[in-house]
Amino acid sequence: MNLVLFGPPGAGKGTQAKRLTQVLGIPQISTGDMMRAERASGSELGKQFDHYMSQGLLVPDELTLELLKKRLLEPDAAKGAIFDGYPRTVPQAEALDKLLAAQGRKIDRVVSIEVPLEEMIDRVVLRRTCERCGHIYHLRYNPPPSPDACGQCGGKLVQRKDDTEEVVRKRNDEYLAKTAPILGHYGKLGIVKTVSGIGSLDEVEARIKAAL
Ligand SMILES: [Zn+2]
């Protein structure tokens, strides 16, 4: 099973991907994490990543594909992988299709976790973060013992600068603009399923499993 997981920032995509690795026995592939690891390893490929990343430039698709190709040939990925945060563009999706085809496989399923904008705003705007230890609360779903003090360390709870309705709307617009064409690409292959991202982690996980 080769699976691509989509979801807006804050929809719990990363958490669900981790859970699915357990259920499906296949690794989660995050190109961002892999690039950082390769860069830290000092390999030839890593040095090329460093060249772009140290200047804040986008890493060319060919380099990312080379990394993916290598990763997919590792034994733990023999039965498939969960792609998290990749592809981000239609050309990347097409290149991934080709890469997989060369290895005799394909993307079997694309699951898009959908959370209504109002729900996303609600989740983020009521979020409070401990200034001292970074612990995250939600005033409704995961309330701290006192509204201004961290239950873990007693630090001050603050609303982070980015945790505003305006930022959520902007991120959501960007996400939809970016994702719609990619979902269109996979949609033509008839492999896209959408699931609701509302509810507990267990509920969302059950929906994803049912969609596979
Ligand atoms: Zn704290």
DSSP per position, the chain? -EEEEE--TTS-HHHHHHHHHHHH---EE-HHHHHHHHHHHT-HHHHHHHHHHTTTPPPPHHHHHHHHHHHHTSGGGTT-EEEES---SHHHHHHHHHHHHHTT----EEEEEE--HHHHHHHHHTEEEETTT--EEETTTB--SBTTB-TTT-PBEE--TT-SHHHHHHHHHHHHHHHHHHHHHHHTTT-EEEEE--S-HHHHHHHHHHH-
Catalytic residue from among 71, 88, 105, 209: 88
Query: Ligand 1 centre and the CA of 13: distance in Å?
Result: 25
Query: Ligand 1 centre and the CA of 132: distance in Å?
Result: 5
Query: Ligand 1 centre and the CA of 85: distance in Å?
Result: 30
Query: Ligand 1 centre and the CA of 129: distance in Å?
Result: 8
Answer whether 0.85 is exceeded by the pTM: no
Catalytic residue from among 160, 169, 170, 193: 160
Percentage of residues of the chain with pLDDT beyond 70: 100
Residues 138-175 have pLDDT tens digits of 998 889 999 889 999 999 999 998 889 999 999 899 99
Residues 196-207 have pLDDT tens digits of 999 888 999 999
At residue 16, the pLDDT reads: 93
At residue 56, the pLDDT reads: 87
Active-site residue flag, 171: yes
At residue 190, the pLDDT reads: 96
pLDDT band, residue 115 (cuts 50/70/90): very high
Is the pLDDT at 10 greater than 80, yes or no?
A: no
Query: Ligand 1 centre and the CA of 140: distance in Å?
Result: 18
Residues 30-60 have pLDDT tens digits of 888 889 999 999 999 999 999 998 998 888 9
Active-site residue flag, 160: yes
At residue 187, the pLDDT reads: 96
Active-site residue flag, 123: no
